[in-house]
Structure 1
Amino acid sequence: MSRPRPLGRHEHGQNFLTDPSVPAALTAVVTGWPPSPLLELGAGDGALTVPLAGLGRPLTAVELDLHRVRRLRRRLGGTVTVRHGDLLEARLDRHQDVVSNVPYALTTPLLRRLLAAPRWGHALLLLQWEVARKRAAVGPTSALTARWWPWFAFRLVMRVPATAFRPVPAVDGGVLEITRRPVPLVDGPPRAYQRTVDAVFTGRGRGVVDVVGRRFGHRLARAWAAEHAIGPRALPRDLDAGHWAALHARIRAR
């Protein structure tokens, strides 16, 4: 009989949860969502899988390590569908909610893939603390958040100390909740709006109003800034979802 691998092996870049209070807190958040099927990406040793299974919802858990897949199948029987596969290749085009203790090295590709996928309603992601803060726009806003704000709301749920993981990572974790908006803040496909965001974040100027003026016209920039009380020293990272949506609407109406 094969012996279990030592706790904390993370050959796929994952740090495993060992503090039971963290899965309990994440499961409590999921309990507040509408009762959709659940997809867990990167199930690991099942620290999140087991409490999620207790919710009684259809649950699919994806794990790359075949050894852990077999252990989870034995442990959970037929109550959970445990699939052997890469979390970056899992299907995301179904009506479901997503939960993941994300391997830190895969954070950006997973986020990009998740945000571009249709139909899922909620996502709860355990990321590096600073990444979770940035994506939730606690402090300066990132271009990635701004590019998807009209379609998703981002919320920072909690901070998770590094000591809750094995092996202990160099930084704390943070839980990010992403909710698909029932009605987007802008009309039309994302590409046109995202070109606006990219142009402003990469444009030259002494502040966001100057950047917008140089790119889209100073009259438009002044009217937009006056309507939303945006000062001359404001930067793209200082804008919120409403600012970006209003700017895009003005540009489309020109």
Structure 2
Amino acid sequence: MLPGALHALRSPTLRHLEHLPSDGRHENGQNFLTDPRVPRQMVDLVARTSGPILEIGAGDGAITVPLARLGRPVVAVEIDERQVRRLRRRLPRTVEVRHADYLRSPHPAEPHVVVGNVPFHLTTAILRRLLDEPAWSRAVLLVQWEVARRRAGVGGATMLTAQWWPWYSFDLCARVPARAFRPAPSTDGGLLSISRRSSLPASERAAYQRFVAEVFTGRGRGLCDVLRRRGLLDDAVRAWLASHRAATALPRDLTADQWVTLWRAVRRPDAARGDHGGIRGGVRAR
């Protein structure tokens, strides 16, 4: 058991907070969790990690309370001042409740883990901010079901997912029914786990992401046609398309590993390309 966890498990403060009433205020896009199994599953995933924890949107403390039992430092960011006051009165000293907008609040400089029940209308903005942060090692997020599916590449990847795949793994852990929230949203939630990977060096990120954007937005019927129109269809790329049987595939159909190997085929050191929409040390931005 982690240091401090036994005391936290017995803490009357935490037991009291578990039953803290909430009026389900919705002006900040808050959908509070009312099914205790969901925070428990999220904290179980966090418990497999180590180090400080940053919580996005503490709300009424449904996730913060079991996080505190881990005995690790927790920074819980919450924009609702009334919830902040309520949590500060009742949570142990291991938890810093920060009154702030996550999109404007700094991340810790040291390695940390991120967890949060993300306001559905801010999912894309929060994900973009999070993926640009360098210090965290894993994130466990509750987001809209369709967003969780798309980020995990279920039924086809989005451009955002493909742009970040070489550096992050997105795993769909569970579906959370709308009835687990108050007020109930119009869609189910999805539990998404994000961890770091290093399939490409960070120095190639900008060029790779421009390349993915051009492939996703380029005209053509299938990858072969799109790449041909972009001036990127040479023998190496044709060989890649043939080996992966991907000539007529759509960008959304590629896996994380396929995007990496396609990029390597396009960017190989001996690919001296002209300026007709191709690359020379990078992809030309639109």
**TM-score (norm. length: structure 1):** 0.93
Q: Does 1:62 align with 2:77?
A: yes
Match of 2:187 among 163, 166, 171: 171
Q: CA RMSD in A?
A: 1.5
Q: Does 1:189 align with 2:208?
A: no
Matched to 1:229, the amino acid is R
Q: Does 1:208 align with 2:262?
A: no
1:79-94 superposed matches below 5 A = 79-92=94-107, 94=109
Given that 1:213 and 1:221 are in contact with CA atoms closer than 8 Å, whether structure 2 keeps it comes out as no
Give, in angstroms, the shift of residue 90 of structure 1.
2.0
- Aligned partner of 1:199 in structure 2 is 214
Q: Distance in 2 between matches of 1:220 and 1:10?
A: 54
**Per the alignment, in what secondary structure is the counterpart of residue 175 of structure 1?**
strand
Rate the CA distance shift 1:117–1:187 in 2: closer, same or farther, 3 A. closer
Match of 1:71 among 86, 109, 112: 86
Given that 2:199 and 2:260 are in contact with CA atoms closer than 8 Å, whether structure 1 keeps it comes out as no
- Aligned partner of 1:238 in structure 2 is 253
Rate the CA distance shift 1:187–1:102 in 2: closer, same or farther, 3 A. closer
Matched to 1:40, the amino acid is E
Give, in angstroms, the shift of residue 172 of structure 1.
0.5
Given that 2:178 and 2:185 are in contact with CA atoms closer than 8 Å, whether structure 1 keeps it comes out as yes
Q: Does 1:13 align with 2:29?
A: yes
- Aligned partner of 1:101 in structure 2 is 117
- Aligned partner of 1:51 in structure 2 is 66
Q: Distance in 2 between matches of 1:38 and 1:77?
A: 14
Matched to 2:152, the amino acid is A
**Per the alignment, in what secondary structure is the counterpart of residue 50 of structure 1?**
helix
Given that 2:34 and 2:180 are in contact with CA atoms closer than 8 Å, whether structure 1 keeps it comes out as yes
Rate the CA distance shift 1:74–1:193 in 2: closer, same or farther, 3 A. same
Over residues 168-189 of structure 1, what are the superposed CA-to-partner deviations in whole Å (9 max), with x where a residue is unaligned?
A: 11110001100011x3335623
Given that 2:57 and 2:78 are in contact with CA atoms closer than 8 Å, whether structure 1 keeps it comes out as yes
Matched to 2:181, the amino acid is F
**TM-score (norm. length: structure 2):** 0.83
Over residues 193-236 of structure 1, what are the superposed CA-to-partner deviations in whole Å (9 max), with x where a residue is unaligned?
A: 00110110011111012212221124343111123232x32100
Given that 1:154 and 1:176 are in contact with CA atoms closer than 8 Å, whether structure 2 keeps it comes out as yes
| Identity rate, percent | 56
- Aligned partner of 1:180 in structure 2 is 196
Q: Distance in 2 between matches of 1:81 and 1:110?
A: 20
Given that 1:210 and 1:218 are in contact with CA atoms closer than 8 Å, whether structure 2 keeps it comes out as no
Give, in angstroms, the shift of residue 110 of structure 1.
0.5
Matched to 1:124, the amino acid is V
**Per the alignment, in what secondary structure is the counterpart of residue 136 of structure 2?**
coil
Given that 1:186 and 1:249 are in contact with CA atoms closer than 8 Å, whether structure 2 keeps it comes out as no
5+ long unaligned stretches in structure 1: none
- Aligned partner of 2:42 in structure 1 is 26
Q: Does 1:249 align with 2:264?
A: yes
Given that 1:92 and 1:118 are in contact with CA atoms closer than 8 Å, whether structure 2 keeps it comes out as no
Give, in angstroms, the shift of residue 10 of structure 1.
1.6
Rate the CA distance shift 1:210–1:220 in 2: closer, same or farther, 3 A. farther
Give, in angstroms, the shift of residue 49 of structure 1.
0.1
Matched to 2:54, the amino acid is L
Give, in angstroms, the shift of residue 167 of structure 1.
0.3
**Per the alignment, in what secondary structure is the counterpart of residue 121 of structure 1?**
strand
Match of 2:161 among 142, 145, 152: 145
- Number of residues of Structure 1 aligned to a counterpart in Structure 2: 248
